[in-house]
Structure 1
Amino acid sequence: MAQISSIGTHRPSEEMEQGRQDGFRTGFEDGYRLGQCESIKQRTATTAPVWPVHALFVETGKGFPYSPLDQAVGQSLQSLVSKLTIVKGTDPVAEIAAAIRPDIVIVLDGLQFDVSHADAMRQAGIRTAIWMTDDPYYTEMSVGIVPHYDVVFTLEKNCVELYRSIGCPSVHYLPFCASPEQFQPVNTERGRRKDITFIGSAYYNRVRYFNAAASYLSARNTLISGIWWDRLDRFDLLKDRIKLDNWMDPQETGLCYNASKIVINMHRAHNDPEHNRNSFGVTAASPNPRTFEIAACAAFQLCDVRDDLAFFYKPDVEIATYSSPQELVEKLDYYLRHEEERREIALRGYWRTLREHTYASRLQTMLSILFPFGAF
């Protein structure tokens, strides 16, 4: 009797069946997350009024990593004012302003912008404003710059009184935020995914934390990316998890945030003796741009405590926080084991970001301050 072949009729192996189930579950979870994010995006969408003003926007012109800021501010202003002219800080700005007579000149950063242009524009009766992007880390330089402008905006709450004390009559707290076009929820390749991610430079306050957490981080699927990380005492333990001297653009950074179960956010210290020019000793209270950018990806973040952070996100509701190396490790371990709680916090942070912490929202606030009684 001829044997009957079993080829093509055997049942899938247990490994194949498990793989199918895992793939289905992962695909469902990814799709469910993106569906929730899309629902939030649609429900928070608003149409901003257009201000009938001509704004001249002076980009930093400093290249990366400032170019994404130039782009985000420029794109948002384009949709908020009836006419926008964009120039670089290296252009003959005062001559251009004298020729086109804008209603307002908005300078971003200004640390490398010749203040003689600001003086010339003010002498010509053209209003000027500056948005300081690196406060309070370079106050030795900024105190010589801000008095040359009619209106000063700073992303650091504690710099407001400093600038008022040196004679600036109009100083306003306007923290940074996120660009939903640059940072947004996306699906990511499985091979890119990490348990824990940190992106940023190895300032010494960060080195202290990562030295203390090295054993825990080395035992997890961890990514650390940035300059100076060979400063770590335990660099050899973590070196296969570190992309040393690696700079990421917003697209790559956003992909890393989306691919991570937990993103660590840690601010630089206001009193770093090597990398700051803050001899005025202004402490830092306000959240950094990464706080908003991580949240704009609907990614879960563990953020070190800052005095003003709770004004932007509710701790343990829209963001998770830590205040010591030990607490950082404890919360990393806790949230890696509590996926649903992690996801819900991230989604609430995403909602808050789209409602309140975008460049469109910040620039609406700026325009309201600049033109409190309407455009003219």
Structure 2
Amino acid sequence: MQRPERIRIKNESGQQQSLPEGERYFQDLGGEGKILFLGLGPNPAIAAQLFPQAKNLYYLECPQHSAQLPEGYTIPSRFKQINTNDTTNLSEFRVILYTPGKRLFPSFWEPLLAKLTVNRTGIMRKSRTKTVWIPGDDNSLLVPELCRAFETEGFSYRVIEPDAMRKGLLSLLHSELPELVLSVNFNGLDNAGETYFMLREAGVKMAVWMVDNPFHILSGIKSTYWQEVPIMVTDHWFIPVLEKHGAKKVGHLPLATDPHIFNARIEPYPALEERTVFVGRSSFPAKENFFSGCIFNEEDELAALKSIKNGTKPDFEWWTKRDSIENFWPGLEVRSTGYKTEQSGLLWRILSLQNAGKQLTVFGDEGWKKYLPAADLRPPVDYFTTLPNIYTGAEINLNMTSPLLPCGLTQRNFDVWAAGGFLLSDYTPGLSIFPEDILAHCTFKNPKNLPDQIEFIKSNPQLRKELSKIWQKHIMEEHTYKNRICKLLNFIT
């Protein structure tokens, strides 16, 4: 007996999927009153059989779903359709959900389900507190710095374990109704948007700060819900690109420094006063897994090296043009271009360090031994304790920004100056947030320029000290995480 062909439709990400059939795909969400189906599945007769005694049944369907149903798809006469614009009275129904529907079109169903869930609770009757929730733990990226900055602005804060945010949000909201949730890189949010829409329905302000390449982060999200989320990026290059891909509210929020760590009483790290120092990894953790299946071949490497030789850093923008990539989302294709960019960044760092002279010290992972066999290589150091001492003690600190952020900056662009050190950074347009007159002697545009610039700085110790003081004052006045929180709060108001 030939198996009947299943109905296939494109989900909201444009991918073909089959519609599963059977009673087990209908979930009773409770409630009292008339029966309302949220989606009828590929065979509405099965839905009707669930309530054989009911004279009238009601249903609501996603318009994108309905528009793709084949000829011959019939709905029993007992069903009456509810207008998709009239969902204010969902609490009057006993609701039955066709569960595959919310995976196919989460941006349509999740807001409705959030409305239904929140309206059935007492959450909205709770008093809102001046509290910020930050998904992560005490060791998560930027969490300690953000907590301290919010505290200076009169907020209490709560660090929420990401899985608890995704799986136990209702319970969390019952215990406390915060004013704001701030996620770094969509941490704590699910891929379908359930968490975001629940928070929005509860009246909680929400923002995501993307501090890495936004499309690497978004490549794992299949729902269009991210377009609704207020987003801030550390690299302003991505603002028009995100807007082109549907983002409705995007702002620029660069990294900053935490005075608690880098402007405290710091003892210089010993024996670095005549050294040029770089602190950083040769690659980020789980790199091979993230870029699984991506290729950087000999032709790509030669193209990147030629670009560097000609004075152009092969960054993400450069590679998107070379790869003729226009649509960065949905899908994982953007990671292929990202991998080429990441490998170009490694070449850029290697060439820079190879041109940094004999007085070079590198604090980093074992991977550097392969590329810098003659350098003074030392183990990684703790960001919160030893790193400030290194920045203060080194004669020159080197910075190479990731080409994955064409106009981005790194923590070094802020932390080194805050600690009273001196930074020599590769140039990116992101440096335009600083006064142009203090950038002189502090940037390089090509690794081959480094020997002369390092020699100039070493030969002018008084200028180095004066620039360090000017930079430290400017960073502490304009570029702390407290400054960033003020800008963030204005952005989401």
TM-score, L = length of structure 2: 0.55
Matching residue of 1:197: 277
Of 147, 152, 171, the match for 1:79 = 152
SS at match of 1:302: strand
Matches of 1:303 and 1:58, distance apart in 2: 31
Q: Does 1:109 find its partner at 2:247?
A: no
Matches of 1:309 and 1:160, distance apart in 2: 17
Q: How far does residue 247 in structure 1 lie from its aligned partner after superposition? A: 4.4
Q: How far does residue 208 in structure 1 lie from its aligned partner after superposition? A: 3.6
Matches of 2:234 and 2:398, distance apart in 1: 21
SS at match of 1:103: strand
Q: Does 1:236 find its partner at 2:314?
A: no
Q: Does 1:219 find its partner at 2:358?
A: yes
Q: Structure 2 vs 1, CA of residues 87 and 336 (structure 1 numbering), >3 Å: closer, same or farther?
A: same
Matches of 1:255 and 1:113, distance apart in 2: 36
Matching residue of 1:7: none
RMSD across aligned positions (CA): 2.8
| Cα-to-partner distance string for 1:230-276 (whole Å, 9 max, x where unaligned) | 331xx3322xx0125x2432221111101101000101222xxxxxx
Q: Structure 2 vs 1, CA of residues 319 and 100 (structure 1 numbering), >3 Å: closer, same or farther?
A: farther
Q: Structure 2 vs 1, CA of residues 213 and 308 (structure 1 numbering), >3 Å: closer, same or farther?
A: closer
CA contact (8 A) 1:94 1:117 kept: no
State which structure, 1 or 2, has the greater radius of gyration over its C-alpha atoms.
2
Q: Which amino acid in 1 is paired with 2:202?
A: A
Matches of 1:79 and 1:322, distance apart in 2: 36
Matching residue of 1:122: 200
Matches of 1:137 and 1:59, distance apart in 2: 20
TM-score, L = length of structure 1: 0.71
- For structure 1, the residue ranges without an aligned partner over 5 or more in a row are 1-51, 271-282, 372-376
Q: How far does residue 106 in structure 1 lie from its aligned partner after superposition? A: 1.7
Q: Does 1:54 find its partner at 2:130?
A: yes
Q: How far does residue 157 in structure 1 lie from its aligned partner after superposition? A: 0.6
Matches of 1:84 and 1:168, distance apart in 2: 28
CA contact (8 A) 1:55 1:106 kept: no
CA contact (8 A) 1:129 1:149 kept: no
Matches of 2:488 and 2:220, distance apart in 1: 20
Q: How far does residue 168 in structure 1 lie from its aligned partner after superposition? A: 2.5
Q: Structure 2 vs 1, CA of residues 268 and 216 (structure 1 numbering), >3 Å: closer, same or farther?
A: closer
| Cα-to-partner distance string for 1:106-163 (whole Å, 9 max, x where unaligned) | 2222246424322221233332111112134725437658716542111111222232
Matches of 2:378 and 2:249, distance apart in 1: 43
What are the within-5 Å matches in structure 2 for residues 185-334 of structure 1? Answer: 186-188=266-268, 190-202=270-282, 204-205=343-344, 207-209=346-348, 211-212=350-351, 217=356, 219-220=358-359, 222-227=360-365, 228-232=367-371, 235-238=372-375, 241-244=376-379, 246-270=380-404, 284-314=406-436, 316-317=438-439, 320-334=442-456
Matching residue of 2:162: 89
| Cα-to-partner distance string for 1:254-313 (whole Å, 9 max, x where unaligned) | 11101101000101222xxxxxxxxxxxx5212122211111112111110101212224
CA contact (8 A) 1:136 1:156 kept: no
- For structure 2, the residue ranges without an aligned partner over 5 or more in a row are 1-127, 284-342
Of structures 1 and 2, the one scoring higher in RCO (CA 8 A, sep 6+) is: 1
| Cα-to-partner distance string for 1:38-93 (whole Å, 9 max, x where unaligned) | xxxxxxxxxxxxxx9623322333x75x35x1001001101213443332323234
Q: Structure 2 vs 1, CA of residues 328 and 136 (structure 1 numbering), >3 Å: closer, same or farther?
A: farther
Matching residue of 2:113: none
Q: Which amino acid in 2 is paired with 1:70?
A: V
Matches of 2:415 and 2:215, distance apart in 1: 20
Matches of 2:158 and 2:208, distance apart in 1: 16
Q: What is the aligned residue count?
A: 299
Q: How far does residue 200 in structure 1 lie from its aligned partner after superposition? A: 0.9
